Structure 1
């Protein structure tokens, strides 16, 4: 689940730049989607939902994003405030999960709560997350824990965030402390959520035209945050310098895997990646090059470090080439074919990215995020359901899979 409170919303940025590419590719529509075959899921198949702590818990005042909400220029559309108050209402959340038949739940523990000051760890907060995980177990729901989902402690951002050469060790130390007390109760561990999402966005054709003003605003907001805190630089995951952060993020993933596995060697541990399904719109399209540029290096990291890869796919973007035009995309239920931002939400994108990631890494694939973003609930019975079911029914026997087919 992404940080949807950011005014320059990363999902909207993806949709906007992808729509420009789709327009250049001449996306149309043709045959309707075929309904998935009627099959039963195997025993033990994981059906779950994913959330991010900062978005749902509320009042995470020690987080870097909390400060960023209150500086100018504002890059957030609204304050997070109480959010869903899931921090206090988690028993209700678990009851809802159980009622709708989920058997897995991916959630994040919040670094800024557990280590509010550098080197000072809160036993009370660790105990809180342990009680939550135990309550999930009691309800028959497997806890899937993400150690870092966008929000970091304010002190970490004041020290330069992921641009700080020490950041991998700081993160691994936090993972070590948390895992020693939490690893025994959870079923799956995810290290960092979408560490390459900024790279993916900026790889897309025509994206620089879109990101120019957005990056300027983010840089200004981060400078103001540094001034307010009296730090040399204040860096969050929304900072435009994703290329500068990437080496530290990669090292942090690898070191955190070691820390978590040291606490419990048999605990499945991996990274969750944002993956756009780049496909050719014309013969000769360089979509393979875009895949490598957007997430190829991270797939190499995931191949050598971790037990699985978490796939998070929402879009298919067709890349123009110089050759003959390829067949149009199929019709999307309840979507006007002229609405390019909606047409790129193709359900087959999930199958394509899972297949590609497994081919590149040889690792088991967990679908840690997938769904349909729409204000129109009529879309759910069509596009959304087919997105989840057509993929899982076809591939569930090929790869170990954990599906989170929930709209966000």
Structure 2
């Protein structure tokens, strides 16, 4: 690619991403209950205070600006807003509104997720996703959130990674609600599509026009045995069901999933047609699929095929898959936002190369006609990583989980260089030279008293 091809346009957005439960702290919801039941890999692990973003949000906005970000993805915590079914906490809504206004004042466009995996403690008992009344519950929640977003020009995400929630919570039983039932999985999938539609209706009633979509985790898939026709068939079925079924429902109004031995559904949701304004995609790695002759008939693994090593969480380094999946999104004819991309890099030394390789694929996809509007790195900060707890480190900023001190990793300087100059240089061209005269140093954020 030429030097011209290594340039981002002036209107391309660089940003960072977070989620409420992973950073805010002090939350009581279904995940907190799951932890107390000892269901994480380490049964003694707790999210607890998170990294205290609820109190340190102003400092963290400053850290985002320091790395050149002009967008900040965060989520509203349903359990804070509606701790009891039907009782909305107005003070919490005001607190979120204030945080978003401060964010906007700092030059950060809000990217607001309504639902990022977690639920109020009452949800799975009273309105679980596999029952139609879940749609009514989500509609009421979206109605309460709508005034918080007025006048902010926010990019809004109704649901984060719904297929991950369904796979982990409804098929494998590894996360709340801990169900392993194919029929309930398909019912929950349909209701989540309907919940997105309901949220859109409620947001539009208050905001008028709203830029709304979902964030879909998308994997590159490969057959574990290239010569095996069953493995190759699983790749086709898996890519369609996991990567595309939800988005296709929001574009066409038709939900179609066929995973033999797991579950299938064919349902029309007319209100879903044309119900998203952008395609949100999260990409991290590639999965190798293998057919096994017993339910659920599918096994997947991460393999180091090319000698690059695995990430510290054990995922394959496969930036080529990022470009592949981006090109697949052309079929929808909508703008694309990369709402998450990042690496668990506990030394902090591999992250610049990871970012460079993936942004190179992004630029190549843009050159091929994919309308990618923005890239949000996951994450601004090291944080609580769900079933893995406090082990993984995805942050541009390293967080000391004892003192909560934030320290810049080498990727901070690299990300800032790319975001501010719009030039995709290799990391060694940035990190091995002296900072430009007059360049502001990356700040070190210190713990502050709770406000």
Give the TM interval when normalised to the shorter protein.
0.7 to 0.9
**TM-score (normalised: structure 1):** 0.74
- Mapped to 2, the partners of 1:198 and 1:240 lie a distance apart of 12
How far apart, in 2, do the equivalents of 1:263 and 1:195 lie? Answer: 25
Which residue of the other structure, out of 216, 219, 223, is the alignment partner of 1:276?
219
Aligned-partner Cα distance in 2 for 1:161–1:71:
19
- Which residue is 2:242 aligned to? 294
- What does residue range 40-119 of structure 1 map to in structure 2 within 5 Å? 40-61=7-28, 63-72=29-38, 77=43, 78-119=45-86
Larger relative contact order, structure 1 or 2 (CA cutoff 8 Å, min sep 6) = 1
Q: 1:201 to 1:110 in 2, by over 3 A?
A: closer
Deviation at 1:180, TM superposition (A): 2.6
Q: Which residue of 2 aligns with 1:5?
A: none
Contact map agreement 2:6 2:363 (CA 8 A) in 1: no
Whichever structure has more helix as a proportion of its residues is 1
RMSD of equivalent CA atoms:
3.1
Paired residues of 1:35 and 1:390 also in contact (CA < 8 A) = no
**Partners in 2 of 1:73 and 1:376 — Cα distance?**
28
Instruction: Tell me if the contact between 2:24 and 2:54 (Cα under 8 Å) persists in the aligned partners.
Output: yes
Question: Are 2:204 and 1:261 aligned?
Answer: yes
1:250–1:301 contact (8 Å) kept in structure 2: yes
Q: How does 1:8-407 map to 2 (within 5 A)?
A: 39-61=6-28, 63-72=29-38, 77=43, 78-198=45-165, 215=173, 236=176, 239-241=179-181, 242-279=185-222, 282=226, 285-286=232-233, 287-303=235-251, 304=273, 305-319=275-289, 331=306, 333=308, 335=309, 341-342=314-315, 344-359=316-331, 361-392=332-363, 394-395=365-366, 398-406=370-378
Give the whole-Å Cα distance in 2 for the aligned partners of 1:291 and 1:370: 19
- Which secondary structure does the structure 2 equivalent of 1:196 belong to? helix
Superposed CA deviations along residues 144-175 of structure 1, whole A, max 9, x for unmatched, are 10000011111212214212320011101110
Task: Tell me, yes or no, if the aligned pair for 1:257 and 1:270 is still in contact at 8 Å.
Answer: no
Residue deviations 1:203-232 (CA, integer Å, cap 9, x gap) = xxxxx9xx5xxx4x76xxxxxxxxxxxxxx
- Once the 2 structures are TM-superposed, how far is the Cα of residue 282 of structure 1 from its aligned partner? 3.0
**Structure 1 CA distance for aligned equivalents of residues 41 and 204 of structure 2:** 37
DSSP 3-state at the match of 1:276: strand
Deviation at 1:393, TM superposition (A): 5.4
**Greater strand share, structure number:** 2
Rounded to whole Å, the distance in 2 between the matches of 1:76 and 1:148 is: 25
Counterpart contact for 1:276–1:315, Cα < 8 Å: yes
Structure 2 Cα separation of the partners of residues 368 and 159 of structure 1:
31
1:302/1:308 contact within 8 Å kept: no
SS at match of 1:181: helix
Alpha-carbon spacing, 1:388–1:237, altered in 2? closer, same or farther (3 Å): farther
Change (3 A) 1:68 1:341: closer
Q: Distance in 2 between matches of 1:356 and 1:389?
A: 17
Equivalent-residue separation in structure 1 for 2:128 and 2:38 (angstroms): 20
- Distance in 1 (CA, whole Å) between partners of 2:338 and 2:14 is 10
Query: Residues 340 and 369 (structure 1 numbering): CA distance in 2 closer, same or farther, change over 3 Å?
Result: closer
Q: Give structure 1 stretches of 5+ with no counterpart.
A: 1-33, 203-207, 219-235, 322-327
Report the CA distance between 1:375 and its aligned residue: 2.1
Alignment gaps of 5+ in structure 2: 252-272, 292-302, 380-393, 395-451
Q: Distance in 1 between matches of 2:222 and 2:36?
A: 40
Asked if the contact 1:172–1:255 (Cα under 8 Å) also holds between the matched residues in 2, the reply is yes
Cα 1:133–1:73 shift into 2, 3 Å: closer
Aligned length: 337
C-alpha contact 2:310 2:317 (8 A) present in aligned 1: no
Cα 1:290/1:40, change in 2 over 3 Å = same
